[in-house]
Amino acid sequence: MPVSRGVAIGRAVLVASSRVDVAHYYVAADEAGAEIDRLKRARDAVAGEIHALQRDMPRDAPAELSALLDVHLMLLHDEMLTDATKHWIVERHYNAEWALAAQLEVLARQFDDMEDDYLRERKADLEQVVERLLRRLAVDAGDGQALPLAAHEARDFAGEDPLVLVASDISPADMLQFKKSVFTGFVTDVGGRTSHTAIVARSLDIPAVVGAREASRLIRQDDWLVIDGDAGVVVVNPTPIVLEEYRFRQRASELERARLDRLRHTPAVTLDGERVELLANIELPGDAPAAVDAGAVGVGLFRSEFLFMNREGRLPDEDEQYEAYRAAVVAMAGLPVTIRTVDIGADKPLDRLSVAELRHEHVLNPAMGQRAIRWSLAEPGMFRQQLRALLRASAHGKLRILVPMLAHLSEIRATFEQLARARAQLDEAGRAYGRVEVGAMIEVPAAALQAEMFLRHFDFVSIGTNDLTQYTLAIDRADESVAHLYDPWHPAVLQLIHRTIGLAQAAGKAVEVCGEMAGDTACTELLLAMGLRSFSMHPSRVAAVKQRVLRADTRRLAAAVHRVLAAESPATEAAAAFGSVQAS
């Protein structure tokens, strides 16, 4: 499945899911020696650890244990591991951790291919040895390692090839750390188009394909890959002719981007004069400048849960959150910023678990379990902490609070109760705070069906089409095996969206769409025709959607809506009906 547009061509870097958090950066050629020394130090330290284990082994310990540690020592000193890892450092300029992880991938495959059961099972020992080495390197890194080089600096190395990351799965939290990474494309085996891993991949704005199932098994370290992020195609070791074709497409897509870039400061107004608001979805305050740059007129969705990830249990306190929210508001310089309260759970766990690992957790059905507002209301102290931070940040600009996954009136009441208590606590502490508008995500079918009630309680609503599709069709958005049935064009989903937009307009309340549909140009006309005038999407999509808006005539589009809503089947048929009406 394609998740992020464009074409990437590069060498495969295979990364095991559990090792995605290994630091990946380049080291300058004259620092390769120092990097190899780090590796040697780590190797000597690990050898010392293993010798100590053998020395301290109780007398009655089984003899196999000591023999196993001998195997570990052998593996540690085997040139398959040591010399080859140096090769990645010297020839490819990888840092020691990355070189080690790369070599482990190569060796792990050789072990997998072995006929002999005993030898094949030694892979686990090799992994343990590498794990020990990585841990030692992490300790060593604490005292002054070479500064990482960013991707653009890395290009200064003569002959450096662009790199494409291949992994079975990557957690949203890990994906986040690739924001400044060296990779020019991604392929993963699992995931759906609107899984959070895919959403973060899209926010990196580099070509990506997910749900490729066998990719990480079939592709080998260093293979040449073409990632077609528009079509959802991965070509392994392309022939020169295929490569040439994709290089041509790559240039064409870069030209198209440059052309779209020129629309950045053009107001989004349809041919018939309807003003449309194009807002940005962000994950961290640091993304705000990119949103302004892209021409977004505000932030429609700041997914605050990303501030809560990878914290090893220590969640951000009120002050830290306040600083983050304030930074986003200040960076947007007077433009509105909508911050959603934490939406932890489902495919966005607090720690680094990937979707594949989550499936082995004991949560029966995480998408329907304790997530989003349910989690917040179950942890009222934490929820109020976030609300106080948001209220305080609202003194610095136009901040709106958005609440995810609401379905019940009791949840709405409880949310406002916590908000009132948060305000009272700030009053008591004598802290300043501003006025905020409060909105609800409409992303559970029950909320769309009760939109009137939601509109009575909230200042605005924002339609989360990713979850609305997931819950209306009962399709796990992160599960590639049912991804063909995940279809926001299903008439049932469209009816709920249409109904919500219509009722909000009738109530005179603001309504937005902030799911992936808002940034999908195939949906722009349809949403405009339904009356939507506010779209929130990843900054990289703003220009392309704006181009659609500039070419649209909402008066002509209106008639097509009824045909799409009345369609019996989704996707292609409905889309075609809509397209043909437009064309006629």
List the catalytic residues. Answer: 196, 514
Site for Mg ion in 405-444 (CB under 5 A): 443
- Amino acid (one-letter) located at 355: V
CB-nearer residue toward Mg ion: 140 or 343:
343
Partner whose footprint covers residue 514, from Mg ion, ligand PEP, none (CB < 5 to 8 Å by kind): ligand PEP
Q: Could you tell me the smallest distance in angstroms from the CB atom of residue 440 to Mg ion?
A: 12
Say how far apart CA 432 and CA 199 lie, in whole Å. 35
| By the rule CB under 5 A, 295 interacts with Mg ion | no
CB-nearer residue toward ligand PEP: 145 or 354:
354
| By the rule CB under 6 A, 192 interacts with ligand PEP | no
At 421, phi and psi to the nearest 5? -65, -40
CB-nearer residue toward ligand PEP: 467 or 525:
467
Q: Could you tell me the smallest distance in angstroms from the CB atom of residue 496 to ligand PEP?
A: 12
Site for ligand PEP in 266-305 (CB under 6 A): 301, 303
Residue 441's DSSP bridge partners are 462
At 233, phi and psi to the nearest 5? -120, 140
CB-nearer residue toward ligand PEP: 25 or 383:
383
Using CB under 5 A, which of 228, 305, 467, 480 touches Mg ion? 467
The pair of structure tokens assigned to 231 is 């079509």
Query: What one-character-per-residue DSSP string does 298-363 give?
Result: SEEEEEGGGGGSSSTT----HHHHHHHHHHHHHHTTTS-EEEEPP--BTTB-SSS--HHHHHTSS-
| By the rule CB under 6 A, 464 interacts with ligand PEP | yes
HSE value, Cβ hemisphere, 13 Å, CA-based, for 338 = 30
CB-nearer residue toward Mg ion: 97 or 467:
467
First and final C-alpha spacing in the chain: 31
| By the rule CB under 6 A, 318 interacts with ligand PEP | no
- Amino acid (one-letter) located at 428: E
CB-nearer residue toward ligand PEP: 467 or 487:
467
Binding piece for ligand PEP, criterion CB under 6 A, among 112-120, 266-274, 465-473, 541-549: 465-473
| By the rule CB under 6 A, 467 interacts with ligand PEP | yes
Say how far apart CA 530 and CA 403 lie, in whole Å. 24
Evaluated on CA atoms 8, 13, 19, 21, the torsion sign reads: negative
**CA 495 vs CA 78, 464, 517, 540: distances in Å:** 63, 14, 14, 28
Per-residue binder mask for ligand PEP (CB under 6 A), 512-551, x = binder:
--xx------------------------------------
Partner whose footprint covers residue 352, from ligand PEP, Mg ion, none (CB < 5 to 8 Å by kind): none
The pair of structure tokens assigned to 583 is 């064309």
Per-residue binder mask for ligand PEP (CB under 6 A), 441-460, x = binder:
--x-----------------
Say how far apart CA 404 and CA 302 lie, in whole Å. 12
| By the rule CB under 5 A, 512 interacts with Mg ion | no
Residues near Mg ion, by CB under 5 A: 443, 464, 467
Residues near ligand PEP, by CB under 6 A: 199, 301, 303, 343, 443, 464-467, 514-515
